[in-house]
């Protein structure tokens, strides 16, 4: 200000000086105001800048927060989905397990049924075997009994035939003198009647001539008394087939006659 005054080197009056001073004062005031205004504007600007920055920071933070939130939500969603998938898997596994258990139960039931059938078949087979064995035993016993009966009948038939034969022989080869079967059969050639050698000899010795046959009274002499070979041979052959009592009696007769 002083410099500016020195440049205007023209002398000034009191009024002029007063005016200048007044002007200077006015200028000073104006400048002060201007400065104040400037300061105000600057402060406001600074405030605004600060505000803007704060907003930017807040926005940034909000954005970061949003991003973080969205990431978190995404993670949460992912987790939820994972949980849902896991739950589905668990359900599947449980279903599989249930099905498996049911299948096992079915298999067990089937197995039990098969086992039972097998046991029944085995029992049937055993029963069949026992029955077959019993039938076989019975058939064998029946057969044996039949065979025994047959043998017995054959034996009885044989015995009966033999008895009949013996009866015929006893009748046809009976000596009329002793009423036994001929012992050392002897025949009279004059009439063909036969006797025991012992009996006809005693009969002949006990009588004086004329001698006659004890059966038919035909005369005979010592020359007519002959052995009867066919009769002797036949009796020798049937002797061991005679009934026990008949044979015993015959042997006794032979002993009595010292033969």
| Binding-site ranges for Zn ion (CB under 5 A) | 175, 177-178, 191, 193, 196, 199, 213, 215-216
Q: How far apart are CA 194 and CA 181, in angstroms?
A: 11
Query: Which of helix, strand or coil describes residue 191?
Result: coil
Q: Report in angstroms how near the CB of residue 251 gets to Zn ion at its nearest.
A: 15
Reduced to 3 states, what is the DSSP secondary structure of residue 196? strand
Q: From the CB of 137, what's the least distance to Zn ion, in Å?
A: 58
The smaller minimum CB distance to Zn ion, of residues 173 and 238, is found at 173
SS3 of 26-71: the string is: HHHHHHHHHHHHHHHHHHHHHHHHHHHHHHHHHHHHHHHHHHHHHH
Minimum distance of Zn ion from residue 146's CB (angstroms) = 47
Laid out side by side, the sheet with 225-227 consists of 194-196, 185-188, 225-227
Instruction: Report the residue number, 213 or 242, with the smaller CB distance to Zn ion.
Output: 213
Q: Which tokens is 187 given?
A: 């025949």
C-beta atoms surrounding 12 within 10 Å: 12
CB of 189 vs Zn ion, minimal distance in Å: 10
Give min distance, CB of 253 to Zn ion, in A: 8
Burial group, residue 39, by CB count within 10 angstroms (0-12, 13-18, 19+): exposed
Distance CA(230)–CA(182), nearest Å, equals 12
Beta carbon nearer to Zn ion, 166 or 173: 173
Q: Which is nearer to Zn ion, 9 or 179 (CB)?
A: 179
Q: How far is the CB of 188 from Zn ion (least distance, A)?
A: 6
CB-nearer residue toward Zn ion: 141 or 230: 230
């Amino acid at each position: 200000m002083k410099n500016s005054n020195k440049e205007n080197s023209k002398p000034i009056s009191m009024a002029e000086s007063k005016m200048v001073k007044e002007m200077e004062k006015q200028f000073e005031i104006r400048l002060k105001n201007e400065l104040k205004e400037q300061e105000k504007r600057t402060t406001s600007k600074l405030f605004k800048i600060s505000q803007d920055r704060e907003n930017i920071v807040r926005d940034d933070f909000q954005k970061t927060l949003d991003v973080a939130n969205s990431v978190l939500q995404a993670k949460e969603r992912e987790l939820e989905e994972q949980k849902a998938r896991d739950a589905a898997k668990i359900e599947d596994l449980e279903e599989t397990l249930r099905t498996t258990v049911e299948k096992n139960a079915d298999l067990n039931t089937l197995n039990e049924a098969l086992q039972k059938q097998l046991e029944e078949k085995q029992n049937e087979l055993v029963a069949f075997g026992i029955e077959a064995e019993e039938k076989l035993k019975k058939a064998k016993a029946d057969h044996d009994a039949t065979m025994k009966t047959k043998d017995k009948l054959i034996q009885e038939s044989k015995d009966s035939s033999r008895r009949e034969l013996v009866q015929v022989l006893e009748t046809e080869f009976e000596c009329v003198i002793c009423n036994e079967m001929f012992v050392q059969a002897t025949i009279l050639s004059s009439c063909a009647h036969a006797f025991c050698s012992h009996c006809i000899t005693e009969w002949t010795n006990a009588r004086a001539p004329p001698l006659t046959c004890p059966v038919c009274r035909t005369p005979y002499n010592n020359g007519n008394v002959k052995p009867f070979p066919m009769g002797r041979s036949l009796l020798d052959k049937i002797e061991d087939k005679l009934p026990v009592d008949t044979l015993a009696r015959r042997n006794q007769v032979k002993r009595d006659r010292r033969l």
